[in-house]
């Protein structure tokens, strides 16, 4: 299988752990070892990790970064969030990073956490966002966005190589070196050291001589101290230098109030930034204003940047919609018809992926999902159909965001960065290369009885409360803003061929324009001169990539662990099409 360098493996199935409680301890069926060392689990975390890493002092900083090996059910991370909200200033933020090779199912994790005494509200927040068991980095949010958890599912040594960051504190919380040796190798500990800030501190229950010697050789000042409960010793360590003081939130101007601009505005606002969004036509006035938009993964045959991006963007958007209370219709049925059949076949070629992500459906089940007789296909349970204007409005509904409509964009001064999310107008203003405009026309139909989910067949049918959206055309080199009958007729013929015998009555239509790039990936980041930032060319997937990459941009500008692998900084760079 082709794998693009720097992209985590999101297609190899992950093995789910099945913990068991024996003699008062949770034990892993994968390593035959306990998830904690015995005694009070929360007190163990407070002593072995929080005290060793000096978290109470660390949390006085504007931004703290804490990383962990061995997520398990998430108890250490939730206890760290709980301590943070108790002692940190109200405007402080916390960025967490953790890795887990054998994720636990959410119901088992919930049982473990509640029995161990974790804060019930944090348990609910975690379980509500529990990621699908697919490889790569998943972004979870707590305390209204003050806390982010970047959770990597897969092999830690592979994952850490894809994400560059500097942690102020490390929790080494893997199973014992005898049962889980791959998490304690010199190579993994080297990755930990390379991702540690000056003055970083480290805590672990493990005092094995090989581990202490490896840490010492990597520049850590290592102390072996009395252990917790049944452990005779534990280790705490520190790197030389002073802990970096990361900057406090600032002010940012954003041009464009569609999915990209609103998503970025939300990401910065939740971090405490003051955000002004400019859009002369008002929020969701372009393609983001379509009455229904489809958020769904894209699974190609290889491990390429586009497939990984669209998968994790769709999962991020679904979690965000739930947190913001945006109503959506779950699931999308992809029919194996026409040229779309090849895409369905490619998506189903990856055996062992969670059924909550994708699974094959036969003709009978597909027909039940579609509400009419159709052929077999693929069911994407994680897909969402959403009202574009409602999603954009929810993204912009934050006290730190001001939206200015009907007035020109105010150029940013040197102290205030400007982020352009305006599509073609930004291209014209800055002369960006490698981009082109695509006309998209959708049709509005009367409700179709029995159609309760999105159905895709090259085009798509998206049911709403009082209508169905059929779309959308993909017209290159066409700048006509009018809704045309010939485009409508072509779309209707395609839909009727995929769903024969279904009555479709058109009541209207809408035309908008999407910006796309030569390699079909967005443009993201600063221009070479550093005069402006961009989030452009999201094509037909802006409802997922817009908010997701908005979070990534905020990560980049703040210098905190990214929601995307570090390779994307180069892969999406604005000037990549310059000759």
3-class secondary structure, 408: coil
Give the whole-angstrom CA distance, residue 416 versus residue 414. 6
**Is 520 within 8 Å of 471 (Cβ atoms)?**
no
173's tokens: 């919380």
- pLDDT, one tens digit per residue, over 541-571 is 999 999 999 999 999 999 999 999 999 999 9
**Once rounded to an integer, what is the mean pLDDT over residues 365-376?**
93
**Once rounded to an integer, what is the mean pLDDT over residues 232-251?**
92
Whole-number percent of the chain with pLDDT over 90: 79
**Once rounded to an integer, what is the mean pLDDT over residues 233-255?**
93
Which of these, 313, 326, 325, 450, lies nearest to 382 by C-alpha position?
Answer: 313
- Return the minimum-mean-pLDDT range out of 65-79, 139-153, 244-258, 263-277: 244-258
Predicted confidence at residue 176, as pLDDT, reads: 84
Give the whole-angstrom CA distance, residue 210 versus residue 23. 30
| Strand 460-463 to 475-476 pairing | unpaired
Q: How confident is the model at residue 175 (pLDDT cuts 50, 70, 90)?
A: confident
How would you class 379 by CB atoms within 10 Å of its CB: exposed for 0-12, middle for 13-18, buried for 19 or more? Answer: buried
Predicted confidence at residue 101, as pLDDT, reads: 96
31's tokens: 């390593």
1 pLDDT exceeds 60? no
In 43-162, beta strands by DSSP E: 63-69, 93-100, 136-142, 147-153
507 pLDDT exceeds 70? yes
Instruction: For tokens 């409360």, name the residue.
Output: 465
pTM of the model: 0.95
pLDDT, the chain, mean: 93
Predicted confidence at residue 413, as pLDDT, reads: 67
Predicted confidence at residue 11, as pLDDT, reads: 84
Predicted confidence at residue 178, as pLDDT, reads: 87
Predicted confidence at residue 146, as pLDDT, reads: 97
Q: How confident is the model at residue 85 (pLDDT cuts 50, 70, 90)?
A: very high
């Amino acid at each position: 299988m082709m794998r693009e360098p720097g992209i985590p493996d999101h297609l190899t199935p992950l093995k789910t752990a099945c913990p068991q409680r024996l003699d008062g301890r949770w034990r892993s069926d994968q390593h035959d070892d306990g998830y904690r060392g015995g005694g009070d689990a929360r007190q163990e975390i407070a002593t072995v990790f929080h005290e060793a890493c000096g978290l109470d002092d660390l949390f006085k900083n504007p931004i703290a970064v804490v990383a962990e090996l061995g997520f398990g059910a998430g108890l250490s991370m939730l206890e760290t969030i709980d301590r943070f909200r108790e002692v940190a200033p109200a405007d402080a933020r916390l960025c967490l990073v953790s890795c887990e090779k054998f994720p636990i199912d959410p119901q088992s994790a919930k049982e473990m956490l509640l029995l161990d005494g974790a804060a019930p509200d944090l348990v609910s927040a975690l379980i509500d966002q529990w990621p699908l068991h697919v490889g790569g980095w998943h972004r979870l949010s707590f305390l209204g966005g003050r806390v982010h958890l970047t959770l990597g599912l897969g092999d830690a040594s592979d994952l850490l190589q894809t994400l560059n960051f500097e942690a102020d504190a490390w929790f080494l919380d893997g199973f014992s070196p005898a049962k889980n040796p791959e998490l304690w190798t010199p190579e993994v500990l080297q990755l930990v050291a390379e991702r540690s800030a000056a003055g970083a501190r480290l805590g672990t229950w493990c005092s094995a001589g090989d581990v202490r010697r490896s840490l010492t050789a990597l520049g850590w000042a290592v102390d072996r101290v009395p252990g917790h409960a049944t452990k005779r010793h534990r280790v705490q360590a520190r790197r030389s230098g002073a802990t970096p003081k990361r900057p406090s939130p600032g002010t940012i101007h954003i041009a464009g109030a569609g999915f990209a601009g609103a998503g970025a505005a939300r990401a910065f606002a939740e971090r405490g930034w003051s955000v002004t969004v400019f859009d002369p036509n008002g929020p969701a006035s372009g393609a983001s204003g379509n009455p229904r938009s489809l958020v769904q993964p894209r699974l190609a045959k290889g491990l390429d940047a586009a497939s990984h991006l669209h998968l994790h963007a769709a999962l991020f958007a679904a979690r965000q919609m739930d947190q913001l209370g945006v109503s959506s219709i779950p699931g999308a049925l992809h029919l194996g018809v026409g040229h779309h059949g090849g895409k369905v076949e490619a998506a189903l070629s990856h055996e062992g992926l969670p059924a909550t992500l994708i699974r094959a459906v036969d003709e009978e089940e597909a027909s039940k999902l579609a509400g009419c007789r159709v052929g077999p296909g693929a069911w994407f349970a994680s897909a969402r159909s959403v009202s574009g204007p409602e999603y954009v409005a929810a993204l912009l509904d934050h006290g730190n965001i001001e939206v200015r409509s009907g007035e020109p964009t105010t150029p940013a001064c040197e102290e205030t960065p400007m982020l352009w999310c305006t599509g073609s107008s930004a291209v014209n203003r800055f002369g960006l290369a490698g981009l082109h405009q695509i006309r998209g026309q959708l049709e509005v139909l009367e409700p179709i009885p029995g159609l309760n989910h999105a159905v895709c067949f090259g085009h798509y049918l998206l049911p709403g409360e009082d209508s169905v959206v059929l779309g959308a055309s993909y017209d290159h080199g066409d700048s006509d803003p009018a809704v045309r009958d010939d485009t409508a007729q072509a779309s209707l013929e395609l839909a009727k061929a995929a769903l024969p015998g279904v009555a479709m009555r058109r009541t209207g239509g809408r035309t908008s324009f999407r910006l796309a790039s030569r390699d079909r990936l967005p443009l993201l980041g600063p221009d070479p001169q550093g005069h402006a930032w961009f989030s452009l060319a999201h094509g037909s997937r802006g409802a997922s990539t817009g908010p997701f990459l908005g979070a990534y941009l905020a990560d980049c500008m703040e210098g905190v662990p990214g929601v995307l692998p570090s390779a994307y900084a180069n892969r999406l760079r604005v000037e990549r099409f310059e000759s």
